[in-house]
Amino acid sequence: MNVATIVGGLVALFIVAAAFVSLRRRGAAAGSVGLMLRLLAIAATAWIVVALLPFTIDDSGGAASYLLGVPVVAAVCPLIADLTHRAVGVTTTVSALVMLLWGLLLGLGIGLWFVLPALLLGVAAIATMATRHAAVPRNQDA
């Protein structure tokens, strides 16, 4: 365990604490489960990126910026979509697929670490779509 892993863990814990405060403030509002999962995915991604940064820089040099940057962008995009209330489900789904494919592409190296945040984003996409479909009233003939 090195300093980067500890710092990444502290960043992740801070994000998780902020997620719980946000969830508690919202209560049982629609979409709060999806938001919580998206924040957990960002926390996991931050922890993984900070922990892998020294190893990736030693191994790949300047390529570490995009090797670790793609998962960070994929994790942040759904949160931005959630803050703007625009295409949250689609953005979360695309981000989960991008992160999963990136993890599989780099699978023999650092990529397998990004499968966990990709799965969290996938479950968040399902929760977001389920919440959206439950909130839409159906036409009922009375």
- pLDDT score recorded for residue 77: 93
- pLDDT score recorded for residue 106: 82
Closest CA to 78 of 23, 135, 39: 39
Cα angle 10, 34, 38; round to 5: 35
- pLDDT score recorded for residue 28: 56
Residue 91's identity, in one-letter code, is: T
- pLDDT score recorded for residue 94: 94
Q: Which two tokens stand for residue 47?
A: 């922890």
Contacts of 4 (CB under 8 A, 6+ apart): 50, 51, 52, 53, 54
- pLDDT score recorded for residue 132: 59
Residues of the chain with pLDDT below 50 are 142
- pLDDT score recorded for residue 31: 65
- pLDDT score recorded for residue 20: 73
Model confidence, pTM: 0.77
